[in-house]
Amino acid sequence: MNVDFDPSLEAFREEVCAFLDTAPTDAIREAGRKTTSVFAPFEATMEWHRLLYARGWAAPAWPVEYGGTGWSLEQRYIFSEEHWKRDLPPLLPNGLIMVGPLLMELGTPEQKRQHLPGILSGKDYWTQGYSEPSAGSDLAALSCSALADGDDYIINGQKTWTTLAHKANKMFMLVRTNRDGKKQQGITFLLLDRTDYPGMHIRPIIGLDGVAEQCEVFFDNVRVPQAGRVGAENEGWSVAKALLKHERGGAAHSPAIRRKLDAIRAAARDATASFGGPLSEDPVFQRDLGELEAEVASFEHVEKLVLSGHALADDPAMPSLNKVMSSELSQLLSIMMTRVAGIDALPLQLEALEVGSGVQPLGDPFSLVAMPYYLNTRAASIYAGSNEVQRDLISRNLQTVRA
């Protein structure tokens, strides 16, 4: 099936290119080059968010009535493709891809009025309070409690791996409001209008890559309004599943993956193989790169089929399939990056990775990000639902279709 885009979209592509070539500042471009995880360097990325908002392009996937662009799926793909070609930082996903669409689907009119404008403009950044020390992949085992008291909840407990909580001014979280019945029951979804409530303490975690991106968050009798609840009390598991649908399938991933593959191919031409010639001419490396190219091309084709209106777009297994393929490809790419960089990837150069530091890396820019990217992608097959769980969901959907 031919899934090439209509040539009439080239005028749109030219408009996108003209903006992306001129609008980003030097700091924004540097942040893009130094992005080593799903979350790009915070300050420069939020600056880029605000520039895109001023253009009207911050949320291409949002409905027009909430500030979206009105672009077709093909236009959104083209924008993503050109964005990644220029190594620009991806906008942070928690607001635009996760809680924003969730509120459009399940939020009250007041919650939409209160929160969607700040998400769209980049005024607010939302952190996700899900995982706990005893409830990571088994999220339903969470124990952080919220006890109703008048018009408020009183929260006690702990969250961990709470990305960029120390930078956030908002939080969405899951809490235990009832301990009876199955563990999926008795969970409630809450919006916290700030991250500095009395009794709330945030402690950054230094990751394997040396960066404080994740955090622990502690709650000691933290009082928050019940008005922040999304959905009914004790029905938060269904709300969380609705949000995960957006998290797993809320963006086109193949342009970013293609860009990583192109960078690997270019770096291999300058790397030296064990026999002394260019690594790109090593037969074993050529074989492995060819296999990776086939995997990337397959994933691109699947995403374009979805965009073209193929029946896959409505398949309930598609978000899980997208998540498994994209996360495992990112891990394969990270392995290949360290293989190309070789011993130059070993030192973690934190100062050189910091946007605006002016510190020159010991090696080339490719080697600077290879090891941090490898370390960060170890978690890709766990977050947003572990890949083992996703394969189970895919299998269940296939069995339902066959039945």
122 Rama class: left (phi>0) / alpha (psi -120 to 50) / beta? left
Q: What is the DSSP string of 160-226?
A: -S-TTTTT-SEEEEEEE---SSSTTTTEEEEEES-S--TTEEEEEE--TTS---EEEEEEEEEEEEG
CB of 229 closer than 8 Å to CB of 189? yes
N- to C-terminal Cα distance for the chain?
27
Per DSSP, the residues of 64-108 read: GGGT-----HHHHHHHHHHHHHTTPPPPPHIIIIIIHHHHHHH--
Residues classed as catalytic: 247
- What percentage of the chain's residues is helix, strand, coil (to nearest 5)? 50, 15, 35
Q: Are 214 and 163 in contact (CB under 8 A)?
A: yes
Judged by DSSP in three states, 28 sits in helix
Q: How far is CA 29 from CA 33, 72, 101, 340, in A?
A: 6, 27, 28, 23
359-388 exposure pattern, b = at least 16 Cβ within 10 A, e = fewer: eebebeebbbbbbbbbbbbebbbbbbbbbe
Give the Å distances, CA to CA, from 172 to 130, 175, 183, 235.
Answer: 8, 10, 20, 15
Report CA Rg, the chain: 22
**What is the dihedral sign for C-alpha 65, 66, 68, 73?**
negative
Distance of CA 363 to the CA centre of its chain: 28
**233: region left, alpha or beta (phi > 0 left; psi from -120 to 50 alpha):** beta
